[in-house]
Amino acid sequence: MSDFVSNFWHLYVAGITLVSIVACLLLLWFSGKAKAMTAQDNTTGHVWDGDLREMNNPLPRWWVGLFVITIVFSLFYLALYPGAGRLAGQLGWSSASQYDAEVAKGKAEVAPLFAKFLGMPAEDLSKDPQALAIGESLFMNNCAQCHGSDARGSKGFPNLTDADWLYGGTTDAIKTSLLQGRAGNMPPMAASVGTPEDVRNLAHYVLSMSGSPHDSLRAQLGKSKYGACAACHGMDGKGNFALGAPNLTDAIWLHGWGENAIVSIITQGKVNQMPAQADKLTEGQIHVLASYVWGLSNKPISSVAVSPAK
């Protein structure tokens, strides 16, 4: 891979660019100097449809002039703007700097609006039509790629519309997740549990904690092995917000349900990454987005559909 980021490719691209411009100029010059074999009537001798003859007239001067202007313009462009390899150009322009400037301008224009929202509690923002519209837009642009456009998530991506939270469902906890991101890490625990049979027994005990279908005999045998999990999930299996350890007593499964899924997680572990948004969003945007997400799981019971198990 290092071959594709070496200094050679910068020179290669710059060389191709400049050689192409010079080649266009030479082509124009040679085409003006070259003389085609013509008959006495100034035709090339090519005839189509019986009477259509190709004349040998020189290129129009206006066309040649435009061609030359194009070549000259390209040289000035390469001197001012990036185009020849890694050369930045005299103006120092870049698409990244233009994007940053436009984003900064946009944030400055909406700063007064978000300043108003910062003074409002999440409960009020979650009912404000304007804040809801902005929050939904922020969610679609920054969160829907993982959590889905309906915020119900999918396997490996949490559902944000239920009351099940890995790190807590308060607005402060949601803001922390947005600002700093989250790095969930379930280490492989098979070696601490024992034999493969012990792992299977433990999986059935975990299933029994949520009342899910399980083998009661295996669950009884696996109960003594649960100590390896209690440090994170708690002796009661209700999880730990500080560690992001899931609640094992509900019927919500983030990474799949059943003996095979649980055995796989115990054996191989699991790592989940929630990227930080602090560099992308302003404080006001984080506040509105956190309030919007908080409102998704704090709607009246009658308006919340039953969510499928994760």
Greatest mean pLDDT among 8-22, 80-94, 115-129, 222-236: 222-236
Q: Are residues 165 and 280 in the same domain?
A: yes
Q: Are residues 190 and 257 in the same domain?
A: yes
Is residue 156 situated within a structural domain? Answer: yes
Is residue 37 situated within a structural domain? Answer: yes
Average pLDDT, stretch 203-220? 96
Distance CA 233, CA 255 (A): 16
| Per-residue pLDDT tens digits for 80-126 | 999 888 888 899 899 889 998 998 898 888 889 899 999 899 888 98
Q: Are residues 253 and 198 in the same domain?
A: yes
Q: Tokens 């060389």 map to which residue?
A: 15
Taking Cα atoms as reference points, which of 184, 139, 178, 183 lies closest to residue 278?
Answer: 178
Is residue 97 situated within a structural domain? Answer: no
H/E segment holding residue 183? strand 182-186
Q: Are residues 170 and 295 in the same domain?
A: yes
Instruction: Quote the domain boundaries for residue 144.
Output: 120-181+275-303
Distance CA 132, CA 122 (A): 11
Q: Is the pLDDT of residue 275 over 60?
A: yes
Number of domains observed in the structure of the chain = 3
Q: What is the pLDDT of residue 39?
A: 66
Backbone angles phi and psi of 114, in degrees to 5: -70, -25
Q: What is the pTM of this model?
A: 0.70
CATH code at 150? Answer: 1.10.760.10
Helix (H, G, I), strand (E, B) or coil at 42: coil
Q: Are residues 137 and 286 in the same domain?
A: yes
The gap from C-alpha 33 to its chain's centroid, in whole angstroms, comes to 56
